[in-house]
Amino acid sequence: MSLRTENVKMVGKLVVVAAGMFGFGYALVPIYKHLCEALGINILALGEREMRGGRASLPANTQVDMSRTITVEFDANARGPWSFHPAKRSLQVHPGEVATVMYEFQNVQDRRMSAQAIPSYAPRQASAHFNKLECFCFNEYTLEPGEKKEWPVAFVIDPKLSKDVTTITLSYTFFEVGSKTPPAPGSTPGKTVARLSSGAGA
């Protein structure tokens, strides 16, 4: 057998092997999805199922207490020349559910200003169960004259919150950095500033 014939056979074998590997790789994804759906071990695969006459359904988050609804009201107090208010005045959320509200800011002065926000809660007992995942109150911000900004507050209410509490008011006091820091409503200045600096509860 000539060397050329052997080379042709070898190339043919390699082509077959490459085609087989490509086919196996192409089929691997649907095979994996069907196995996961059958065994119930993959949330993404289960979530892609289409229900007849309806939308795709996701497995329920067991950490969300669907039996309770809490109204969260948002308030804003500007200490100084600011336009400062929430995009929504209230939201209804379930304990354990992640929710987000936007706050809108504008520096209405003709000079650059730096400011920070202090949060407060009513009733006061809600503060230990109101967990912020993201909040503009964590940082100090500088706005140019006339500049507008939107910043989010993403939060989760701990399901351990007393069932007597059905409404929580989250209030922010926005003040210019370098001016006298106002106390948050219902709090002492020392306690509030310490909370901001540590990032806990803010």
Kind and range of the H or E run holding 190: helix 189-198
- Assign domain 70-198 to its CATH architecture: Sandwich (2.60)
pLDDT band at 38 (very low <50, low <70, confident <90, very high): low
The predicted model gives 150-173 an average pLDDT of 92
pLDDT at 194 over 50: no
The predicted model gives 75-101 an average pLDDT of 88
Q: What is the pLDDT of residue 4?
A: 74
CA distances from 32 to 26, 47, 48, 72, 117 (A): 11, 15, 14, 43, 49
Q: Where are the domains of the chain?
A: 3-47, 70-198
pLDDT band at 93 (very low <50, low <70, confident <90, very high): very high
Q: What is the pLDDT of residue 176?
A: 82
pLDDT band at 166 (very low <50, low <70, confident <90, very high): very high
